[in-house]
Amino acid sequence: MSTIARPPLYRVSVAQFAILTLVVVITVPFSADVAWSIWVGGIIHIVPHAWFGYMAFRNAGARQVRAILRDFYWGQAGKLMLIASMMILVIKVSKSTIYPVVLITFIGMVPLYIVLVERNVRGFVARN
């Protein structure tokens, strides 16, 4: 094998999205505003992290070291800008959003993300 394969990190975003959707569906009968806020907080976490995963691993190979490093920087910068702009957009536009629920959901997605990435990478390394 001439190069290291790219890890399938899209699976992490898909799994997070599925879990988020399940939580929202369960929450809707109790409170639509809470369900909406959970959805928003989860999406604010998933989209920027998916962007980073795409940017960080779009190049592969020993000859691509500079491009990989540049993509990591751009991926991280883009992720932070996406998070900030999405939070500002929600605060400015949405009237029915419960902001503490958005923040709690966003923070709650972090351990889920870490566990899913760890499992995905461990499975990927075991296969290769």
pLDDT in tens, 13-42: 999 999 999 999 999 999 999 999 999 999
Model pTM score = 0.84
pLDDT in tens, 73-93: 998 999 999 999 999 999 999
Distance of alpha carbon 71 from alpha carbon 107, whole angstroms: 25
Domain segments of the chain as ranges: 10-114
Own/partner long-range contacts of 21-27 (Cβ < 8 Å, ≥24 apart): none
